[in-house]
């Protein structure tokens, strides 16, 4: 397939140019990526009369920059790091060292702090295929007080089986902690609609109990609800911001299904948790792509990652990354059109 040439998306205050890059497959599935935050700006599913964009985002670089200055940034479509989720009071121990990370969220450390990967300018490998692109970022040692220079690579691949594969790799020059994820807001009815009525499956029997500040207490509790929510009821649409402990299997870890248009999205991952987030804390009138007004029910995130605050709970899966060892996060979003709805 022909490679579409990159298109200038905007210019950062530093003068660096941000470009849009385009991936497509033989079935008409298309995505647009930008090298600010390694953001996936659009994901276009083919329809009878064109395409339906099923992720939330902005039309301009300026709006992405402005969104990161909000009290509760939405992190639309970006790669999150160095550590996804909250770390209580920004305090961690690595070996025999006490580390005080920056605190950017009510006295706690969230999504990598002020200089998170979501704000980074990413270098891009030369695109040699219409269905794959690799971003690279070198995070300097001491950023947000994290030890070690971290060399990060994120590869987006779009297969002819309608799989969107996101492979994240990282190596540190010192012992450190890491927890990367992606922060795409999905809506199989299109980004201009609501996720109300769409069905969610999570391959989990337990979730992390959190306190009033959304930080895990250390307790892991059995989930009283069935793993399959037949549809997202109104009362859940403003209240899901939870980390679910994924069952250890190679099968589907999560799924989103539309009740009438036939599209479903299955999620596969090698991570320990699936953090499901539905717009809690988003402004009630946020101007998104194509002049659409986003709200708390506009999209749902499936953040495949390790446990938030894992460094402070010995019984949580380790987030420790040894010097010169490879960190890997592999997540696949598989799109299918059901013939019988």
Distance CA(127)–CA(169), nearest Å, equals: 18
Alpha-carbon distances of 329 from 152, 168, 287, 301, rounded to whole Å: 11, 5, 31, 16
Which residue in 317, 308, 312, 323 sits closest to 98, CA to CA? Answer: 312
Name residue 181's beta-bridge partners.
Answer: 80
Distance CA(181)–CA(330), nearest Å, equals: 10
Name residue 277's beta-bridge partners.
Answer: 241, 301
Which residue in 231, 168, 245 sits closest to 194, CA to CA? Answer: 231
Catalytic residue numbers read 183, 303
Question: E strands within 178-307?
Answer: 181-182, 185-186, 199-202, 204-210, 216-222, 228-229, 241-246, 254-257, 263-269, 273-277, 286-287, 293-294, 300-305
Which residue in 303, 289, 299, 288 sits closest to 333, CA to CA? Answer: 303
Alpha-carbon distances of 21 from 90, 131, 133, 167, 288, rounded to whole Å: 35, 11, 8, 17, 20
| Chain-centroid distance, C-alpha 256 | 15
Distance CA(37)–CA(35), nearest Å, equals: 6
Residue with token string 């506009």: 298
Torsion angle in degrees (nearest 10) through CA of 260, 247, 282, 13:
-110
Q: What is the DSSP track for 180-207?
A: -EE-PEE-TT-TTS--TT-EEEE-EEEE
């Amino acid at each position: 397939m022909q490679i579409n040439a990159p298109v200038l998306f905007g210019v950062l205050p530093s003068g660096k140019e941000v470009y849009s890059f385009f991936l497509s497959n033989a079935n008409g599935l298309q995505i647009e990526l930008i090298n600010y935050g390694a953001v996936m700006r659009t994901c276009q599913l083919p329809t009878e009369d064109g395409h339906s964009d099923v992720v939330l985002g902005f039309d301009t670089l300026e709006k992405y920059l402005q969104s990161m200055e909000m009290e509760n940034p939405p992190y639309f479509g970006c790669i999150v790091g160095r550590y996804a989720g909250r770390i209580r009071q920004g305090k961690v121990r690595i070996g025999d060292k006490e580390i005080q990370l920056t605190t950017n969220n009510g006295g706690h450390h969230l999504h990598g702090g002020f200089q998170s990967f979501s704000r980074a300018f990413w270098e891009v490998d030369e695109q040699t295929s219409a269905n794959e692109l690799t971003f690279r970022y070198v995070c300097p040692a001491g950023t947000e007080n994290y030890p070690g220079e971290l060399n990060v690579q994120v590869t987006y691949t779009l297969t002819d089986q309608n799989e969107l594969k996101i492979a994240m790799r990282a190596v540190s020059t010192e012992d450190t902690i890491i927890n990367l994820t992606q922060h795409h807001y999905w809506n199989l009815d299109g980004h201009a609609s609501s996720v109300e009525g769409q069905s969610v499956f999570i391959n989990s029997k337990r979730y992390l109990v959190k306190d009033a500040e959304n930080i895990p207490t250390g307790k892991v509790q059995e989930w009283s609800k069935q793993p399959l929510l037949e549809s997202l009821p109104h009362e859940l649409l403003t209240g899901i911001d939870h980390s679910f402990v994924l069952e250890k299997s190679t099968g589907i870890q999560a799924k989103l299904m539309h009740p009438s248009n036939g599209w479903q999205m299955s999620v596969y991952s090698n991570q320990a948790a699936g953090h499901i987030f539905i717009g809690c804390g988003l402004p009630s009138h946020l101007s998104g792509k194509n002049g659409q007004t986003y709200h708390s029910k506009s999209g749902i995130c499936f953040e495949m990652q390790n446990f938030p605050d894992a460094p402070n709970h010995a019984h949580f899966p380790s987030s420790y990354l040894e010097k010169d060892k490879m960190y890997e996060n592999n997540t696949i979003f598989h799109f299918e059109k059901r013939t019988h709805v």
